[in-house]
Structures are given as C-alpha cells and as structure tokens.
C-alpha cells in the first residue's frame, strides 16, 4: 500500500461542506462516507475527511474544537497545475460560500503563486503553484 495523507476537518454542515469540496474538484468516496463523515479525495493519496462536530469530537479526548473563523492551527497546501488553477480554485471557493485572500511574499508570480482559501467553516487550504 502506498503512503496516504488524511486531513480531518470539523464541519458544521456536512452536506454544505461536501458540496463545497466537490465544486473544488474533490471526489467523494462513498465507501468511506456516512451520515457523520464525507471522504473527499484530492487524488489517490490525499483525502480530506469532513467530519460532523459530534464525530470529530470523539477523537479529541479533553480538547474543544477550535473556532476556525477566529483561530488557526494549520495551513494545508495542495499543489495545482498552474497560476490560473490557483486563481480558479479561489474563485470557485468564493462562489460557493468560502473566501480567499492573497499574501504578497515578494515572490514573482512566474515562480510561485498561492492563495489562502477558507471553506465555509473557516478551515484553510492553500492551493499553490511553483515552478520547479
């Protein structure tokens, strides 16, 4: 079995979150989805697990779920094929209940381009293109 990455996000509305990630190009894997979770595949090795708060809480022991509209604990970056793909990702997020902003790091767009995209629950994803 190849190595895989599973990113777990707490969501308040599973259907809304599933629809949002579907519009961004993620594919839902029905075999690992149920009324508490949607398994959303970026590709064969990177999956986002969208978990209802009640289910996400099971894994936290004595911790609370962060209000990601006010705090951040992770920035998850995903590579995309081009600067245009980064911009489309951001615009698609905006059109479907999310938001985005650009952080000027002083790197020319023809070398690297990224946006800070928030889903409707405030979880942050960074689509990024880099000239390797």
**% pLDDT > 90, the chain:** 95
What global pTM score does this model have? 0.93
The string of pLDDT tens digits covering residues 106-129 is 999 999 999 999 999 999 999 999
Q: Write the secondary structure of 71-116 as one string of H (helix), E (strand) and C (coil).
A: CCCCCEEEECCCHHHHHHHHHHHHHCCCEEECCCCCCCCCCEEECE
The string of pLDDT tens digits covering residues 62-92 is 999 999 999 988 999 999 999 999 999 999 9
Domain parsing of the chain, residue ranges? 1-61, 73-132
Q: CATH 3.30.200.20: does it fit domain 73-132?
A: no
Assign domain 1-61 one CATH number from 3.10.180.10, 3.40.50.720, 3.90.226.10, 3.40.50.20.
Answer: 3.10.180.10
Q: HSE (CB half, 13 Å, CA atoms) of 21?
A: 28
Alpha carbon distances (Å) from 39 to 28, 30, 54, 75 = 6, 7, 16, 19
Whether 1-61 and 73-132 share one fold: the answer is yes
């Amino acid at each position: 079995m190849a190595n895989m990455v599973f990113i777990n996000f707490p969501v308040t509305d599973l259907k809304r979150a599933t629809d949002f990630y579907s519009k961004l190009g993620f594919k839902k894997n029905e075999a690992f989805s149920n009324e508490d979770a949607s398994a959303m595949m970026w590709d064969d090795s990177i999956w986002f697990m969208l978990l209802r708060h009640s289910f996400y809480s099971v894994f936290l022991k004595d911790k609370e779920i962060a209000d990601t509209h006010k705090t951040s604990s992770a920035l998850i970056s995903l590579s995309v094929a081009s600067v245009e793909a980064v911009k489309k990702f951001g615009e698609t997020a905006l059109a479907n209940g999310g938001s985005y902003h650009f952080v000027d790091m002083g790197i020319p767009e023809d070398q690297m381009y990224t946006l800070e995209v928030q889903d409707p629950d405030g979880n942050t994803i960074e689509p990024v293109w880099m000239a390797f």
